[in-house]
Amino acid sequence: MCSGRVDPEFVFRAFANGMDGVFIGGCRLNECNYVTHGNYHALNMVLLCKRIMEHIGLDPDRLRIEFMSSGEGIRFAEVVNDFWKKIEALGPLAEGEKIDKNEVMSKIQKVRKLIPYIKIVKREKLDSRLESESRYGTLFTLDEIETLFKDIVSYYIDPDKCQACMICYRRCPVEAIEGGKNRIHVIDQDKCIKCGTCFEVCPPRFGAVDKISGATVPPPIPEEERTIVRKAKENV
């Protein structure tokens, strides 16, 4: 499998499952077997994940990516052994960082939920191509990641504008929108992955979906107030 297909979800799922370290091996840069150069994307993804790990209190050395050819068996063994020794020295996840494991696991789950949103916000940098190793440490900064998590956007359907057209209801990739025919739609904020699909597909003539950043999302309207009563057309 191309290393470019390794998703941040794979990395944080491994940590959520109790892994103490994650190693990713890819083809040498500029020697892509598929001509897609997905290994550059894998590199950027790892650099992003390392910054997120720092943000939630995990040692970024628990994640490592190395590029080598399939003929470098000896080097592969040396690199993996070196990584294993590093993880052994760090100790178990969270315990090595001297932080509460339940707290870390809670943070990891929050990160996993936000991965689709993070990939959208950081798409341009994830698609960039770093030609110099000197830029590896500057592609993503810790301040940038802290701002990212502080200014997370949310989406809210204005009940006064919603026409229950069911377009966003049908298009939501995680079924986070509650609604139905003649029912004002409501976004379940616990399920929402902040992908922005609802915002993009809501018909401009309605403009019912609000994008909220740095503010509290209004509470959903009560169930008994969600029915839309349509006026019957008069016969001429």
Is there a single domain that holds both residue 165 and residue 146?
A: no
Is there a single domain that holds both residue 13 and residue 55?
A: yes
Which of 133, 150, 167 is the C-terminal boundary of a domain? 150
Tens-digit pLDDT profile for residues 80-90 = 999 999 999 99
Q: What predicted TM-score, i.e. pTM, was given to this entire model?
A: 0.82
Distance CA 27, CA 35 (A): 11
Q: Is the pLDDT of residue 226 over 90?
A: yes
Is there a single domain that holds both residue 17 and residue 133?
A: yes
- pLDDT recorded at residue 135: 84
Q: Is the pLDDT of residue 55 over 90?
A: yes
Tens-digit pLDDT profile for residues 30-42 = 887 777 888 999 9
Residue 170 lies in a domain: yes
How many domains is the chain built from?
2
Query: Which residue carries 């760090």 as its tokens?
Result: 90
Is there a single domain that holds both residue 74 and residue 30?
A: yes
Distance CA 2, CA 135 (A): 23
188: Cβ–Cβ under 8 A, 6 or more apart, which residues? 176, 177, 178
- Average pLDDT in the 56-69 region? 95
Tens-digit pLDDT profile for residues 99-137 = 999 999 999 999 998 998 999 999 999 999 888 888 888
Average pLDDT, the chain: 92
Is there a single domain that holds both residue 190 and residue 115?
A: no
149: Cβ–Cβ under 8 A, 6 or more apart, which residues? 55, 114
